[in-house]
């Protein structure tokens, strides 16, 4: 069960337990009944868990009052989730016109939204400016040029950050620091003088107010955040000395890891916040800089542990002495992470079981790819066809990365609130699947 106080250190959503019927429940909501009512595969989000993590983020960064929280929408973007996060004071980091449109459709203004990405189109930038986006994180020279023209044509002065590659790359425990990173994102520090000279002398419709960096995802280290803040602030100091402008905003990205399996041990959001705040305070003092507005943009750590996926087990195949496969009614189209990068998950049978016969099986998806394996070698309690399988930690980068591969319909999503499941994304229909076909 959940003994940890911190959501991102739990495998399961808060208040996950076996109820009196012997079924799994989350926050008083029976998962087997949810599966019966809404069918499977089904994404389930627990509002309690989501709000707890949002509150922890706010509390953890409260010692630095100039913090602005943005949710990295790429992790999970639906109107209902955006509305919940907007209501508790989060803004948004968006990367496409589709994410912007989803926000507007949910009645959320862009006055606390940052638009980043390495190849935003003219249409996307125009749409963002027309809807008064707070700022654009400009990624490259091409974008500086087209954005200035768009802003000029619209008679606007657009607030921008410059996305930089700080020379830190971090994945889980591995961490490298180099002068130059082989990354498609952002300006190398060696390109900054040219970019700033262009902005100051030619691109008069751009107002450079800050720097933006993001060093990786599913990060378990704390020291990288200290290094990141130091590098970004040293660059601000260098720009101040050379160009006589002091940038007043920094965005240090997202990246905090979560616990997918027992092997994962991410720090809590409080530990990360403390490292960042201490680093900003000490580096500002050392470099004689005003304390900047701090943007952070967590994705995975905010939503992942609040989400589970429910599947129904169908066929099985036992290869004597080698492996037993059980197949579920979803797979790589609703969760591409295992087949894309061997992501690991925990799961358990959600319905009551009379027997207690643990068995090691491999959970296969239903898609026509041998690599469509959701979980390799997991112990489940006598899995049988008809059982409901609950896969944990699917709140991030599952629905948002889902596809119609094999022309399978996209799954529905429900939100658990007040002990009940409420539909927040309808299951796609066959009519919707073919509606854009031109025959
Ligand atoms: C620029 C940027 N910010 C924030 C995030 C969110 O990262 P995470 O989901 O690991 O918190 C990402 C993820 O790739 C990103 O590219």
* Position in ligand 1 atom list of the atom nearest CA 219: 10
- How far apart are the CA of 73 and the centre of ligand 1, in A? 9
Q: Give the pLDDT score at 2.
A: 43
Task: Convert the pLDDT of each residue in 395-427 to its tens digit.
Answer: 999 999 999 999 999 999 999 999 999 999 999
88 in Cβ contact with 70 (< 8 Å): no
CA distances from 283 to 63, 232, 364 (A): 16, 10, 50
Half-sphere exposure (Cβ direction) of 292: Cα atoms closer than 13 Å: 31
Look at phi and psi of residue 308 and say left if phi exceeds 0, alpha if psi is from -120 to 50, else beta. Answer: beta
- How far apart are the CA of 99 and the centre of ligand 1, in A? 14
Say how far apart CA 428 and CA 144 lie, in whole Å.
39
**pLDDT band of 3, cuts 50, 70, 90:** very low
Task: Report whether residue 13 contacts ligand 1, using a CB cutoff of 6 Å.
Answer: no
327 in Cβ contact with 366 (< 8 Å): yes
Label residues 7-36 b or e (16+ Cβ within 10 Å = b): bbbbbbbbbbeebeeebbbbbebbbbbbbe
Residue nearest to atom 3 of ligand 1 (CA): 253
Task: Report whether residue 210 contacts ligand 1, using a CB cutoff of 6 Å.
Answer: no
Given 284, 304, 368, 398, the catalytic residue: 368
Catalogue all structural domains in the chain, each as residue range(s) with its CATH number: 7-45+307-434 (2.40.37.10), 77-298 (3.20.20.10)
Task: Report whether residue 380 contacts ligand 1, using a CB cutoff of 6 Å.
Answer: no
Q: Give the pLDDT score at 183.
A: 86
Q: For residues 36-49, give the mean pLDDT.
A: 98
Task: Report whether residue 257 contacts ligand 1, using a CB cutoff of 6 Å.
Answer: no
Q: Give the pLDDT score at 182.
A: 82
Residue nearest to atom 5 of ligand 1 (CA): 254
**pLDDT band of 237, cuts 50, 70, 90:** very high
**pLDDT band of 71, cuts 50, 70, 90:** very high
Q: Mark whether 304 is an active-site residue.
A: no
Say how far apart CA 182 and CA 173 lie, in whole Å.
19
Q: Give the pLDDT score at 179.
A: 59
Task: Report whether residue 139 contacts ligand 1, using a CB cutoff of 6 Å.
Answer: no
Q: Hey, which of 185, 220, 250, 297 would you mutate to test ligand 1's pocket, going by the most ligand atoms within 8 Å of its Cβ?
A: 297
- How far apart are the CA of 116 and the centre of ligand 1, in A? 10
**pLDDT band of 173, cuts 50, 70, 90:** confident
CA distances from 360 to 136, 321, 377 (A): 49, 12, 6
Give the percent of the chain with pLDDT over 70.
98
Nearest residue to 223 (alpha-carbon basis) of 166, 274, 147: 274
114 in Cβ contact with 212 (< 8 Å): yes
Residue 124 has pLDDT above 50, yes or no: yes
Beta bridge partners of 162: 138, 211
Residue nearest to atom 13 of ligand 1 (CA): 217
Q: Give the pLDDT score at 276.
A: 98
Q: Hey, which of 139, 254, 306 would you mutate to test ligand 1's pocket, going by the most ligand atoms within 8 Å of its Cβ?
A: 254
Task: Report whether residue 254 contacts ligand 1, using a CB cutoff of 6 Å.
Answer: yes
Q: For residues 244-263, give the mean pLDDT.
A: 97
Nearest residue to 291 (alpha-carbon basis) of 36, 63, 20: 63
Task: Convert the pLDDT of each residue in 321-339 to its tens digit.
Answer: 999 999 999 999 999 999 9
- How far apart are the CA of 194 and the centre of ligand 1, in A? 27
- How far apart are the CA of 244 and the centre of ligand 1, in A? 31
CA distances from 97 to 116, 200, 222 (A): 11, 28, 33
DSSP string, 347-381: EEE-S--S---EEEEEEE-SSS-TT-EEEEEEEEE
- How far apart are the CA of 36 and the centre of ligand 1, in A? 35
* Position in ligand 1 atom list of the atom nearest CA 297: 4
Neighbours of 286 (CB within 10 A): 12
The pTM (predicted TM-score) of the whole model is: 0.96
Q: For residues 20-37, give the mean pLDDT.
A: 98
Look at phi and psi of residue 148 and say left if phi exceeds 0, alpha if psi is from -120 to 50, else beta. Answer: alpha
Q: Give the pLDDT score at 221.
A: 92
Nearest residue to 251 (alpha-carbon basis) of 213, 278, 289, 302: 213
Comparing 175-184, 210-219, 288-297, 422-431, which segment has the lowest mean pLDDT? 175-184
The DSSP H or E segment spanning 195 is helix 192-201
Comparing 41-45, 214-218, 386-390, which segment has the lowest mean pLDDT? 214-218
Residue 172 has pLDDT above 90, yes or no: no
Q: For residues 183-205, give the mean pLDDT.
A: 96
Residue nearest to atom 14 of ligand 1 (CA): 217
Q: For residues 271-298, give the mean pLDDT.
A: 98
Q: Give the pLDDT score at 5.
A: 78
Task: Report whether residue 219 contacts ligand 1, using a CB cutoff of 6 Å.
Answer: no
């Amino acid at each position: 069960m959940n003994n940890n106080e911190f959501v991102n250190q739990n495998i399961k959503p808060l208040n996950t337990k076996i109820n009196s019927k012997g079924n799994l429940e989350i926050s008083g909501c029976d998962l087997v009944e949810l599966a019966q009512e809404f069918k499977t595969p089904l994404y389930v989000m627990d509002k309690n868990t989501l709000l707890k993590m949002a509150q922890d983020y706010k509390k953890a960064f409260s010692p630095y009052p100039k913090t602005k929280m943005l949710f990295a929408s790429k992790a999970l973007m639906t109107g209902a989730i955006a509305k919940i996060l907007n209501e508790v004071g989060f803004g948004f980091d968006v990367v496409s016109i589709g994410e912007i449109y989803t926000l507007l459709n949910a009645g959320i203004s862009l006055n606390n939204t940052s638009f980043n990405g390495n190849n935003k189109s003219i249409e996307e930038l125009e749409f963002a400016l027309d809807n008064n986006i707070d700022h654009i994180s400009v990624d490259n020279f091409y974008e500086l040029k087209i954005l200035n023209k768009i802003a000029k044509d619209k008679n606007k002065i657009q607030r921008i950050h410059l996305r930089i590659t700080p020379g830190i790359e971090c994945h889980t425990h591995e961490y490298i620091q180099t002068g130059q990173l082989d990354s498609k994102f952002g300006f190398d520090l060696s390109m900054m003088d040219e970019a700033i000279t262009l902005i100051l002398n030619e691109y008069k419709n751009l107002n450079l107010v800050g720097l933006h960096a993001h060093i990786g995802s599913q990060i378990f280290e704390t020291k990288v955040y200290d290094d990141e803040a130091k590098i970004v602030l040293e660059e601000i100091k260098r720009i101040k000395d050379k160009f006589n402008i002091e940038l007043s905003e920094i965005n240090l990205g997202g990246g905090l890891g979560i616990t997918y399996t027992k092997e994962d041990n991410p720090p809590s959001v409080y530990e990360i916040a403390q490292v960042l705040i201490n680093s900003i305070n000490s580096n500002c003092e050392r470099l004689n800089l005003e304390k900047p507005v701090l943007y952070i943009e967590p994705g995975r750590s905010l939503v992942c542990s609040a989400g589970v996926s429910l599947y129904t087990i169908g066929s099985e195949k036992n290869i004597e002495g080698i492996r037993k496969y059980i197949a579920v009614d979803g797979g790589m189209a609703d969760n591409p992470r295992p087949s894309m990068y061997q992501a690991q998950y925990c799961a358990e049978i959600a319905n009551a079981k009379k027997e207690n016969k643990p068995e090691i099986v491999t959970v296969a998806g239903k898609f026509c790819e041998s690599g469509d394996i959701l979980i390799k070698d997991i112990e489940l309690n006598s899995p049988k066809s008809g059982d409901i399988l609950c896969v944990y930690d699917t709140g991030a980068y599952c629905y948002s990365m889902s596809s119609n591969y094999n022309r399978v319909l996209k799954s529905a999503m429900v939100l658990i609130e007040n002990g009940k499941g409420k539909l927040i994304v309808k299951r796609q229909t066959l009519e919707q699947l073919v509606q854009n076909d031109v025959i």
